[in-house]
Structure formats: structure tokens, C-alpha cells
Structure 1
Amino acid sequence: MKTHVKALVVGGGAVGTSIAYHLGKAGWDTLLLERDELTSGSTWHAAGLLPYFNMSYATTHIHDYSIKFYKTLEEETGLNAGFSVCGNLRMAQSKERMDEYMLYASTAETCGVPYEWMSPDQIKERFPLVRTEDLVGAIYHPTDGYINPADVTMAMAKGARQHGVTIERKWQVDSYHWNGHEWEVTCTRTADKGGNLISTDETMVIHAEHVVTATGNHAQRTAKLLGIKIPAIPVEHQFIVTEPDPMLVEWRKNNPEHPVLRDADAKWYVREERGGWILGPYERNAPARFEFGVPDSFRADLFPLDLERIEEEYMSFIHRIPSSEEVGLKDDFNGPICYTPDGNPLVGPAPGLRNMWLAEGFSFGITAAGGTGHYMAQMMVEGEAEIDMASLDPKRYGSWMTTEYAARKNEESYEHVYILHHPDEEREVARPLRTAPCYDRMAARGAQFGVVNGFERPNYFGPTPDEGGFDDHASRSFRRGGWWKYAVEEANAVRNGVGLLDASAFTKHEVKGPGATAFLDWFTCNKLPRVGRINLTYALTSHGTTRTEYTIVRMAEDHYYLVSAGAWTDYDSDYLRKAAEDKIPEVGYVAINDVTTKYGVFALAGPKSRDLLKEIIKDADPETALCNKRFPWLSMKHIELGMVPVMAIRVAYTGELGWELHHPIEMQNHLFDLLEKAGEKHGLKMVGGRAQNWLRQEKSYRAFGNELGRDATPLEADLPRFIDLEKDFFGKEALVKTGVRSKCVTFLIDGPDDADPWGREALYAGDLRVGRLTSGGYSVHFGKSIGMGYVKPEHAEVGTVLKVKMFDQLWDATIVEDSPYDPKNATIRVDG
């Protein structure tokens, strides 16, 4: 066996085999190790479905690549992957479910995924075995279907070998050691003994520059070996196979195979299987398994079937396909399938480790395997994938995550496969967990919370508990939900009075030391601020695209305070630390501290914000302490508000006069009470994140994860004012070389009266798709929908009227100047 390779892939399921194939195709010397036999994990008992349906832009691209790639394998390898291109029919029993499909369809269009709409009559005409009188309609994907998991894995394995990959079975990895420049991976030969897999005395050490783990149900063992946390834990998934259905057998004599049928409202999928049916439900109360690792005795094994748990879904299957009622059960499967708390896999660099890559937590592993291999290989070989993979990055879950959290959230994720995926949904399990001290006060004032990186953060404020409260779950919608009117009130309060937001979840780092200035000057693309001032800047990828957005506050010559998005704490911290480690030999010592939970943040914004702060600031001259001369825009000062020492930053993400008030977290409630009392006569209103999201779009403020990401440069985001091309910085050469492939613009949209865009919609010039929205919402200033997105440069001129796809209709979307509200920033700079 090889002992020195460029890349070692651990895990021989569909995902690992695909990664090995694509690394081999890219020319890397690659070895794949499998502890048992190829496909012996979840791959062997997977149903092999290939659903396009996904609300994630990145995951849609991954699934699309897989489906197209699998169709090429037979020509390349001579092995039939068992792909039945029968299509996929996703049915809807309600108008709201059709709204979900229409939102998904617009997202699918941005990725070029084909689909068709079908009415109940059309369904019945084409597929008479399906009961349709209680359906509203369906979306149909003609190009996908299902595949044989073992066959496609073996085809990829053969293709991998043809590209020079070595595949070794019966080797289990027992330890990983990074020696400073490569991984030393110790593995042990395994053998069969009485049906069990046992370790032998034969060991081997593999030296690999890069390692990829694709260990499926064994992710918890992998996490322990690496000393990290991986929130991938299996959940039981059962499906049953019926005896032949005589009516189906008769139908198939003169007709093609049924598409994969999905009744999302009934929570199941069905496909044909040798004259019968396979039924796969996604029921409630499916338990997580192997929270602390898979027992050595568990190989390609299954759990006992729990028919009572899926009785409701089974009866609805009979209702939908009446011919199945008299058909007996032929076989059953109940096996472990890995999930993650949000249902998306973990794909990318492992936290804190060099050249260690994770491909774990695949609940739809067959669908995702081909695309994951393609984009993972791009990340490893080229430095970045052509699409932004941040939404799948393993570091989206921080070190606060525990086994209990992951297990309970993974069960919830399984249950939610077919529950309506509202864009404004907030799932309830494992909450509240991370709370700011002001949480109870906010809740008492009607806060309805969302979760960001585990933190509870107000989305909006409805009626208080004393007023009868508000049912956030019932208010959700694909259109304007019940919360919409409250967000309008909050946005108006900021524009016309004063609002208070809890922004404590912001990611915060202190960077200091003799090498801090030189490091940050190289690490970010904008000029560094002077002491006491702030700048907005970006850290880039090796491809010149946006890796992270920072607000940098310069505290002293070699002391900086960095603020970034609250959802990305570990993602930002890992990149910052690794970059500093690489640069320290050149620039000198740099200390980096994550102080996210050390400081709370209140954002105070609106034309009356200065008047409110004058009431409580402790200063020799409170009347002038906050004026432009003493406290200019884009500056920081240490002030005292009552008894609280505050680092006040004069900046507001809402585009109004305002301050961020960074304070010791243990003093937060004292400060909250102080601000609230002082705000009574100024009409202070509590404000949530949804109103803030609308307001920042009126100012064309880009958001990381929306307009800013690893698939667009800051120049493409139309942010040249934040790039200093006179200095050298990481990613500069690639930034300049890339140019502007597409451009970020702001739209005012004449959309439907009862809905706003969500930021997932396709944009058209005539019949030509020219871009997509990345943000959407409502503008209280303009009284209409607003959005931001990317279009081809030739369509980016102010005044251009494009069309945005919403609810299967095209609506006018007019490109407006950047910062359509207060383009000269007069309200932000106002003196007083």
C-alpha cells in the first residue's frame, strides 16, 4: 500500500468515492481508505433518490452537478450506474405549499434547473393511479429520478482508479497527527470474524499532505480522533417495499415508469420497485442514534422497524395511491442516516487544523455525492470553488455546540424534511440556549426571537405577554406574514424617531501586538483607520473574492477591535488565526482573542438617538459630547452611560444617525434599563433584525452571506471605495485579474400587493436570465418592495428595468442608485 500521497480520503461511501474521483481527475496522487467494504455504510441501504428540491443556492448547484455527472459515468467507465431518469413529481395539497414550490422554482432558475408545473387534472391524466381530487398542483422535474447507490459508487470507484487513485479496503484509521507539514495517519487492518469487523495487529502509517474525512455514521469517532466537534449524528430512517401492485404491473405494460412521487404534506416519497412501491416517510419522533460513536459490532446492519411510528404516513400513502391498499409488505429497512442541525452537510476545512477537510453529515448523500466531490476538489486544488460554499462550511457551528444539541437538532432536521420551509421559519428545538442578559427584558416587551449561531436575537417585537402575546409560528408565510406590520412600525421608528436593537451576537475579535498593524494591513484590502477611527474592510480569498467583512476599530497603534457577522464567529476566527500564524514570522507577534461573549452590543439609531444619549452620558458638557466636532461619524470614543463604561462607535447599519454601544456583558441589563427609561420621552421603540434588514437595503449596505461571499469580489460588489489598490494585500492580484463578471445593484420592485422578495429570485431582461437577487424585503421610505442582487454588467445601469420572478410571475424591478435613501448620508452626519 502507498505510504506517501498528496491526498488521503477516509471513507468509501458515495461521498468519499466521489471526492477521490475528482481529486484523481485533477491530477492529485490520491489514496482512499475504507474500514470495511465500499458502500457498507449508509450508502448500501439508501433509496437512491436524486431530488433537486433545495432552498440553498450552493446545495442546488451540488445536486445539479451530481445528476448531470452520473449520466456520464457509464460512457467513461463502462459501468451502468443504474440511473432511472423517470422524473420527480412533488405534489401539493395547499396553496401555501405551492407558494413554497414557486419560491423554490425561482431559486432553481438561478441555477438553470428545469422544471414544469402540473395541475391535478394533468397529474391524473398522466398518472391515473394517483388520487388527485385533494391536490392543488405539483412541480415536476423531468431530468432527475433515482439511481442504484451501490452501482453509482462502484462506477465512481472505477473512474477514480482510471484517474490514478488507489483504493484500499479493510483499513481503519486510528489516529491523525500533524507534524508541521503533513499528516501522519495511523491505520489498522480489519478483518471479518463471525460477522463482526475486528482490528488485526497489522498497522500502517500513511503520510498525506491533505486528508479528507467522509466517514458518514462514524463522524463522532472522527471528531474524537481529530479533537474537534462535528455535529453529524445519524437519525433512524425507515422505508418499506411492497409486494407487486397488480394495477401498477398492468399500467407498466404500455406506459413508462412513474416519476418519484412526493406528497410533501403527507411527509413521504414513493417510487416504483419491481412492480411494487418503495415508501419512505419522514415521520415525527425518529430518534438519533450513535451519539457517541458507532459500536464496533455494527456494520452494514439495520434497526428493527417501528411500523407504529409511520402508521399515519402509511395510511396517507394508501390514500394517495389507492391500488396499494391490498398489497402486502415485501421488505423493510430502518437504518442510520447522518444529519446536521440545519440539514445541510459539513463541507470544507476543519476548524483549527491545517489541510484537514471534512465531508460529513450527508442526509441526502447520493444526491450530493457527485457535486460534493467536484466542488471539494476545486477548494482543495484551486483554493476556492466556483460557487460560494460558506453555507456548508463546518465552522458554521461553533465550539459551544454539544452532543445533546446536535442530536436533538438533527432529529428536528429529519422531521422537517417535508414540513413547510418558510423563509421566515425559526425552529424550536434546543431553545433558548445562548442568551444575552437582556433576553428576558426583550421577551417581556414582545420580542419574537430568531437564532444566529445559537444566540437568541429579536426578529421583531409583537404584542407583549401582558397584551396576550403573539404566535410567531402561525404568522409565518411565503408572503407577508403576520409579523410584517410590526417590522414596518419598527423601521418607521428608526427613520423618524429612535430605535434600540440588541446586536450582542456580533462576532468580535481583538487583534494586538507588535505585528498587528502590518498583519492587518496585509490581511485586509482597505486602508487601516487612524487611532480612534473606524473603517469597513474585507479579508479576501486567494481568488480575490470576499472571505469576510470587518468593521475595524483602531484602539491604539498596535491594538484593533474587529467586528463581523454574528453567524460566522468560528468561521471568521479560524481564518483570522490561521492567516496570522502564517504571517507572524514576517511581521512579528500578533495576539488574537475572540471576545464575542465578553461584550454586549446595543445599536441605537434614528434622528432622536443623540437626544436620548445626552440624557444619560456622563461628561463635563453633555450637550456637546456627541456633536460632530467631538464625536464625528466613523469614530470611536470611550464614554460612560450611567455607571456603564461603553465603547461607542458612531456607525449605524440602518443608515440613520446612530451609535453601536459595546459594553461589558455583565452590565447589560443596567444599561438596557437606563436607555429604556431615558427613551420614554423620545418614543424609543424596540427593533428587531427584520426591520434592520429592510433599512440596510435602503442604504444598499451589503450583507455577508448575501451580497458578500466567496463567489464575488468586492469590485463586483461595487465597493471600490473600500479597496486601496495602492497597497499590497492578500488576494489583490486575483481581485484585479478577475475584473467585474457581474455587478451588485439595488432594485425598487413593483411586486405583488401581499408579498416581498426574499432574496432568492431570478432576474430577467426579456426572456434572458441575467442575474439573481441576494436580498429582498420592504422599503418603508419608498412604500414598495426592495431588493439587492447581481446582474451582468451590461444590465447594471441605473434606470434599467428588469423583471424579477415571484410566484411564477414577472414583476418590474428598476435599478436605482446606490443608497437610494439619503444618498449623500446627510442624516448620518447630522450635527447636534
Structure 2
Amino acid sequence: MTKVQVVIIGGGAMGVSLLYHLVKAGWRDLLLVEKNDLTHGSTWHAAGLCTHFAHNATIQELRATSVRLYRDILPQETGRDCGFHRSGAMRITRNPDRMDEFRHVAGLSEFTGYPLEVLTPDRIAELHPLARLDGLIGGIYEPDDGHVDPTLATQAMAEMARKGGAQIWRNCPVEAIRQTRGRWRIDTAKGPVESLHVVNAAGTWGWEVGQMMGVNIPSVPVLHQYLVTDTIPAVAERIAGGLPELPMIRDPEESWYVRQERDGLILGPYEKEAQVWSVDGVPPSFGAELMPPDLDRVAHIIEAAMARLPALETGGVKTVVNGPITFTPDANPLIGPAHGHDTAWLLTGSSMGVMEGGGAGWFLAHWMTHGAPPMDALAVDSRRFGAWADRDYRVAKAVECFGLQFGVHYPHEERPAGRGLRLSPLHDLMIARGAVMGAAHGWERPNWFSETPNARPEESFRRANWFAPVAREVSAATSRVAMADLSVFSKFEITGADLAPFLETLGANRAPDLGRIGLCHGLTPAGGVLSEFTVTRLAEDHAYLTSAAAAEEIDLDLLRLRAKGMDVEIRNVTDDLAVIAVMGPKAPETCPELADMPWLSARETTLDGIAIRALRLSYIGECGWELHVARGAATTLFEALERRATPHGLGFYGAYAANSMRLEKGYRGWGSDLTTERSPLEAGLTAFVRKDLRDGLTRDPAWDMVLLEIATGEVDPFYAHSVWQGDRPVGIVTSGAYGHRTGKVLALAYLRDATARDGLSVSILGTRRAATILPQAPFDPDDTRMKPGATP
């Protein structure tokens, strides 16, 4: 029996990168097993494109880290080139919305330090003289982008890992995986291995290896084709003339990319109707094989590319590559702990394994070493999908993501595939009352309410067709009474003799007293905010916790980890209970039986004969309650509340109105404003951190979260806008919206220079707008409206 610390399953760019970075981090007794040979699967046939373009800072850092590794670090360590070509890259468009998207990504990149250039048509012609400009309105240029030889890069990482003592077993399929007594046994063709940690980096085989581990891997292999041309005379002439390599060029509207390959070109089309492959298991014998060419499927895209780059027509087709790449439901990789396991990890599902692999290995190695990711992990955390992400869902979303590989990413985007998986018992009632639904962790939830039947949201970077309806929803909650379906909350019942010490060690705050409600933030070992729980103390041995919908698996893992060695039972009751919010100055008249409840208190009682758990709190800054009720009684309770509230001017509100109102109160949101990157002190939550922990959470230099009022413009802020002081970027917006009660444009932002207090501006889609730090919440800063007996 071979005994090691870590077994990595999969020898593509992702797995080998992790092996390399664990060696760098000082780990020993490392083993990577690969069923065929290194790079077999999808790495070897990848086009090797590397970019800095991303809508998320973490994804961008994965890609930028890969570039640095392939371009600089590995050649220096090995003394050999990895085949990296710093060609630069551009994206072109004839779509005004796409130009908004380009400006948004460029604004994020100003803050992250990877500046991208927004292009005019004349600049496109200067950078890529082979491109026709017909219909183009602009583009974006990524000067540090390039392409790499995937095999050379992977082998270089493997060489350095071996030099550091790591083992690589090639031609060694994994036959079975099981966990006993806190260790993993991996049966391989070369014998059994016992390991403390196991990592699924199997890529194309990620789903099958996940089945062995007992972990749901929502990824699907999808066939992607690209063609390599023979000599292109115009390219050969440039080479002969000593001109630099052409930049890669992408046309998102026509869905293709082109890059130079020696004196020819590579053309990669992405068809709208993806062809999934081997959904229920890749053939065991499959390795470095390809599918037969099927250019008829992409002929229309090839023709469009030739129209834009006529030089493509002058070279014959030398090679067609048609092989599988993996897609997750949101096209981001699966990185991090496997749900339900302390020592199982995922590093798989990347449709851009070479582009992201170098950085992904660094990211997971840091997480495994330090117990926390180096950056906000929500975009890649493998637990962002639950058991609800079944076969139909993963296939539908993979097809959608492939077809929208070059789709515009709108700030409030709601894609249609894979919907209707998790329905609140109030779902049909919400639809009947005009709810326009969005998706949250598989749930359908009301985003806003329309007076027009069958309304659909507009996709825009500017104010859309839901702006006026949201104003009406806010008005109802502010002046009358409004109800909301909050059933998507994650919900946990905690019982047992050790409840008190469990709650005291759960997070940064002290446990609430009996019958009271508190806010508790679970922290990473580095002091970042991992979880945010609303904790209700129902009895000496019973607490009820709620948290964000998207945090369900993450929070359940944290609760179970904190409960180790304690006499407590944790039950996930997310699907068992519904939550109805009743908010507004007329809420006490709607529910007079509850009007005497103190602020931040809980009561288990009945309304109209229906058992409820009433929580006296508000995320929107208005008087009211969350009423938690058994799923089977939810519709009856809702209809009873509706009858009670109608005489008082009943309205309904959704997630968009809640976002507007909570920003007017300066309330932070988990997953956007609260992440593992920043401590609760940096997030402005000092009041929720017990005094004995504060010194340990102080960082130098510390970032500072501020609430900004931004000058009015045609675009309301949403996220990832850079904050400037003069000519230097000093911060980043994490969330924003128009405040309908105050008439202010508001945003929460982190300042990485906490001394930058004056002369601020926010760059929103390329336009700088003056911003002022608000010293207190602009709406009801003294919280008088939420307290019992308050007058509006």
C-alpha cells in the first residue's frame, strides 16, 4: 500500500498545475495519477489561448497567473521556452450593448492592474490590418494576451514538480475510491494508494471520478472544433517583412476566434447548438483521440469569419481538430472543497483548462495550504451547485453556455435553460400576482412584479423595464404594507446539549440570548467572511439559522465542521419551510397579534390557526416580520395574510426592490459585499465582532468598506466599477442600485487605500462620476421605522 498526503487524479494542465504549486508551497508525499499520458483528454488538443478578459476579478487573476507562469516563471525555472507568444488579442463588435460590456470589463481591469484598451474602428484597423471594418463600432484590446503550447507548459510544470519530489504515475486508471477512518483509499491499476487528501482534476472524466467519490460533478463534455489553415499569403508576407505576430481576434456576435499559427491561421467557431458527448460516462479507452470533422455544423460561422477576414479564404484547411472540452452550468471551473467532505477537493470542469489551469492550481494549492482561498472564491467554488444540479440541468446549461460562449453578460442576466428546479410553495401565487422570476441556487424567486401579464425583463446595462415597477414596490413597503416570498433562504435547525458552546464558536459574534436574534459571521482561518447567519435562539438546546440561498452547501459544511466533537445535531430544513415577509408601516395593523414583539426577537405562535415562527427583523429598513411556516401550510398562511393586508393597501416586492432598500440602509450582502477576501472589520461590521477577536482581525494595511452616493447618470452602478481618487484607482464597487426612497444613486465599495476620503469618482462604463462617502445610512439612520410603535 502506497501512502501519500495528496492524490491528484488527472494529468491535464489543471492537475499538473496543482501538483507543481503544492510542491512550491512545501507539500511532500504528493502523487498524481493519470489514466493515459499527461495532457491526454482536452489539454493536448487545446488551441492554447490565454487572456486577461474576464467579468470577475478572481477569474481574471486565474488567467493572469497562468500567463505569468507560462511566459516568465516556467521558462526561467526550466531554461526552456513554453511556446508562449505574446501576440495580444482583441474583441470586435457591432453591438452597442457589447461596447457597454467592454467598457465594464475595462473598468474592472483598471482596478486589478491589467489595463485593457477600448478600441475605435480605426484602432482595430491599426492593430489587425487583415480585418474588414464593415459595421464595426469598436472593440477591446488585451495587450498582454497570447497563446501557449499546452503540452510544453504542462510538461514544464511536471518536470519541476518531479524535481520537488512529487510522483506521477502515467497509464494508471483509477478503479475505485472510498473513504475510511478519515483517509482515502484509491485503487489504481498500479495498486492501492492511501491518502489524506484526494483531488478530482479529471477534466473530461470529472463526472465519473466524482461518482467514485460520492460527489455530484455538474459538468458535461461538449465537442468543440477548430481548423488550422495552410499557408496564408498575407500572413507569410508579414513574417517575411519582420512584422509582429497578428493579435488574436474574436467576433462575439459571429461567435468565432482566429489566431496566427506560424504562417497560417487557426479559426475556432462556437455553434449555438452545442453537441454534448458521453454525458453518462466517457469510454474507458478514450485518450488522445479526436472526433471526425463535422464542418457542416459550423459552415455558417466559418463563412462569417471569412467575410470579416478575407485572408482566411486564401489558405486551404490543413487540419480539423474536433474534441471534447468540459462545461459547467455557468462555464466557470469547479475549484475548492467537495461538499460534505473535509479532505476531498475539486479542480475540474474548466472549458478553458489551459487558459485557467496555471492560475487554478495556484488557487487551490493556497486553499489547501491555508484553509482559505487567496481571493473571493464564489465564482469558482465547487459548492455553488447542489444536488438539484441533476443530469438534465447540467446538459441544458452546458448547451446554453457553449452557445453563449460569446454572449453579452448583462448585470442582471437571467438565462432560460435549467429553470424551475426548486419551487417555493408560493410560486404559483407569486406568478399569479405578476412576479417576474429569477434563479437563485436552483430556486425560482420573484425579482420584480409587473402589471403586464407575461412580462419579461429587458437585458440592458441601463435602466430597464423593471425600474418603474420596482419603484412601486418600494412605495408599497414604505407607505403601506408589502409582502415577499423569501423561501429561498437556506435554513438550519441546530439542537443538542452543546448548543451554547457551538454558537459561541460559530463565528465572530456572541450568541443571542434566549428568544432573541443575532447576526453571526463565520470566518476563514485568515479572518475573511465565509458565512453570514441570522441566528435565532429558540431554547437552551435549540437554535434556528438562516442564510443566503447560494450559501446552502458552503454553510452546511461550515456548520458540520464547527460541530465536530460537540453534542449537537444539524438539520438542513431549507426545503421544508417557507418564509413570508410582511413589511411596512401598516404591518402591525396587518398582524396585531405580533405588534408587541420587541425588535430582534422571535416567537413561535399561530396566525389564523397556522403554526408560525415569527422573527422581528427587517433587511429593507421597514417595520415588519419574517414568518417561517411549514411548507404544506404556506399557501394557506399567505392567503390569510393577503386578506388581512388588502384593506391597508397591500403590495408585493421582489429581490430588486429589496436590493434598493437595503443599500439605502447600508446593509451588506453576502457574496457581493461580504466575501472571504475581507474581514468583518474591513466590511464595517465591527459591532458584530466580539471585542476579544478584534485585535486578531486587524489587518495592515486594512481595506475599508464605504457607502457612496454617486452623481446621477444614465447607468446605475451594479458591481465591479473602479473607484478613483484623481488619477489612481483606489477601490472597487461591490454592489449598487438606485435608492427609490431617497432619490440617491448608491453603491457599497471597498477602498484599498482607507485614507482616500475626498475627491472620489466612480468609473461606470467608461464615464467618471463624482462620488461622496456617506457618513451614515441615507434612509432612517436611527432605525426608528423598524421599532415597535414607530410612526412613518
**Structure 1 length-normalised TM:** 0.92
Q: Which amino acid aligns with 1:548?
A: S
Which of residues 292, 295, 298 is equivalent to 2:283? 295
One-letter identity of the residue aligned with 1:719: L
**Do the aligned partners of 1:713 and 1:735 also contact (CA within 8 Å) in 2?**
no
Task: Return the offset for 1:82.
Answer: 0.6
1:323-346 deviations in Å (ceiling 9; x for gaps): 223432221111110110011111
Q: For residues 16 and 534 of structure 1, what CA distance do their matches in structure 2 show?
A: 45
Do structure 1's residue 285 and structure 2's residue 273 form an aligned pair?
yes
Give the paired residue count. 787
Report the CA distance between 1:250 and its aligned residue.
2.1
CA 1:733–1:803 in 2, change beyond 3 Å: closer, same or farther? closer
Partners of 2:10 and 2:695 in 1: how far apart? 34
Q: In the TM superposition, what are the counterparts of 1:547-586 in structure 2 within 5 Å? A: 547-581=530-564, 583-584=565-566
SS at match of 1:376: helix
1:711 aligns to 2:677 (yes or no)? yes
Kept in 1, the 8 Å contact 2:258–2:266? The answer is yes
Matching residue within 744, 752, 775 for 2:705: 744
Determine if contact 1:508/1:564 at 8 Å carries over to the other structure.
yes
Q: Does residue 38 of the first structure (1) align with residue 16 of the second (2)?
A: no
1:457 to 2:457 alignment: no
Q: 1:801 touches 1:815 (CA, 8 Å); kept in 2? A: no
- Give distance in 2, aligned partners of 1:511 and 1:394: 25
Which of 498, 506, 516 pairs up with 2:481? 498
- Which of 584, 609, 619 matches 2:587? 609
Measured against aligned partners, the alpha-carbon deviations of 1:60-84 in whole angstroms (never above 9, x if no partner) come to 1111111112112111112211101
- Residue in 2 that maps onto 1:816: 774
1:697-736 to 2 correspondence within 5 Å?
Answer: 697-726=663-692, 732=693, 735-736=696-697
CA distance in 1, matches of 2:487, 2:455: 24
5-14 vs 319-328, which deviates more?
Answer: 319-328
Structure 1 letter corresponding to 2:783: N
2:574 aligned residue (568, 573, 596)? 596
Q: How does 1:333-732 map to 2 (within 5 A)?
A: 333-465=321-453, 469-472=454-457, 475-581=458-564, 583-584=565-566, 589-614=567-592, 625-627=593-595, 630-726=596-692, 732=693
Residue in 1 aligned with 2:117? 116
Once the two structures are TM-superposed, the CA of residue 169 in structure 1 deviates from its matched residue by 0.9
- Given that 1:114 and 1:143 are in contact with CA atoms closer than 8 Å, whether structure 2 keeps it comes out as no
**Deviation readout 1:687-712 (Å, 9 max, x if unpaired):** 11011111111111111111111111
Output the CA distance in 2 between the equivalents of 1:735 and 1:393. 26
Contact 2:231 2:264 in 1 (8 A): yes
Following TM superposition, by how much is the alpha carbon of 1:208 offset from its aligned partner in structure 2, in angstroms? 1.9
CA distance in 2, matches of 1:28, 1:702: 37
- On the 8 A contact 1:716/1:740 being kept in 2, the answer is no
Q: Can you give the 5+ residue segments of structure 1 that lack an aligned partner in the other structure?
A: 189-202, 615-624, 727-731
Look up the match of 1:153: 154
1:140 aligns with 2:141: yes
Residues 97-143 of structure 1, C-alpha deviation per residue, up to 9 Å, x if partnerless? 10011111112223211211221112123322101131011110111
Checking the alignment, whether the CA contact within 8 Å between 2:87 and 2:245 is kept in structure 1 is: yes
Matched position secondary structure for 1:171 = coil
CA contact (8 A) 2:709 2:747 kept: yes
- State the AA in 2 paired with 1:720: T
- 1:794 matched to which residue of 2? 754
Match of 2:783 in 1: 825
Deviation for aligned residue 1:308: 2.5
Partner Cα distance (1:109, 1:796) in 2:
17
Whether the aligned pair in 1 keeps the contact of 2:327 and 2:350 (CA below 8 Å) is: yes
Q: Which residue of 2 aligns with 1:767?
A: 727
Unaligned runs of 5+ residues in structure 2 are none
Query: What are the Cα deviations for residues 283-325 of structure 1, in whole angstroms up to 9, with x where unaligned?
Result: 1111222221111132211223332321221111011102223
SS of the residue corresponding to residue 49 of structure 2 reads coil
> Which residue in the other structure is 2:739 paired with?
779
Distance between the aligned counterparts of 2:526 and 2:498, measured in 1?
Answer: 25
Deviation string, structure 1 residues 248-285 (Cα, Å, up to 9, x no partner): 32233322111110011111111112322211111111
Amino acid at match of 1:774: T
Equivalent pair of 2:93/2:137 in contact (CA under 8 Å):
yes
SS at match of 2:32: strand
Q: CA separation in 1, counterparts of 2:509 and 2:701?
A: 18
Deviation at 1:166, TM superposition (A): 1.9
What amino acid is the match of 1:115?
Answer: L
Give per-residue Cα distances to partners, 1:17-50, cap 9 Å, x unaligned: 1100000111111221111110011001111011
Equivalent-residue separation in structure 2 for 1:168 and 1:325 (angstroms): 45
Whole-angstrom CA distance in 1 between matches of 2:441 and 2:387: 10
Q: Check the 8 A contact 2:45/2:321 in 1, yes or no.
A: yes
Q: CA deviation at 1:720?
A: 1.2
Q: Secondary structure at the residue paired with 2:456?
A: coil
Map Cα deviations across residues 651-709 of structure 1 (whole Å, 9 max, x no partner): 11101111101111111211222222322222211111011111111111111111111
CA contact (8 A) 2:733 2:747 kept: yes
Q: Deviations over 1:770-793 (max 9, x none)?
A: 110111111113313110011135
Query: What is the rounded CA distance, in whole Å, between the counterparts of 2:39 and 2:195 in structure 1?
Result: 24
Deviation of residue 737 (structure 1)?
A: 5.1
Cα offsets for 1:601-631 (capped at 9, x unmatched): 11121112222223xxxxxxxxxx333xx30
Letter of the structure 1 residue corresponding to residue 651 of structure 2: K
Note the aligned Cα RMSD (angstroms): 1.7
Q: Is the 8 A contact 2:717 2:737 kept in 1?
A: yes
The letter of the residue matching 2:55 is: M
- What amino acid is the match of 1:432? G
2:624 and 2:23 mapped to 1: Cα distance? 54
Deviation at 1:53, TM superposition (A): 1.8
SS of the aligned residue for 2:779 comes to: coil
> How far apart are 1:733 and its partner, in Å?
8.2
AA aligned to 1:226 is: M
CA contact 2:223–2:325 (8 Å) conserved in 1: yes
Kept in 2: contact 1:149–1:366 (CA 8 A): yes
In 1, Cα distance between equivalents of 2:440 and 2:390: 16
How many angstroms apart in 2 are the aligned matches of 1:241 and 1:170? Answer: 30
> Cα deviations across residues 708-728 of structure 1 (Å, max 9, x unaligned)?
1111111111111111134xx
1:543–1:734: 8 Å Cα contact kept in structure 2?
Answer: no
Q: Output the amino acid matched with 2:706.
A: V
- Per the alignment, residue 90 of structure 1 pairs with 91
Residues 543 and 735 of structure 1 are in contact (CA less than 8 Å); yes or no, is this contact kept in structure 2?
no
Which residue identity does 2:229 align to in structure 1? Answer: T
2:213 equivalent in structure 1: 226
Q: Is the 8 A contact 2:128 2:247 kept in 1?
A: no
TM-score of the two chains, using structure 2 as the length reference: 0.97
Shift of residue 830 of structure 1?
Answer: 4.2
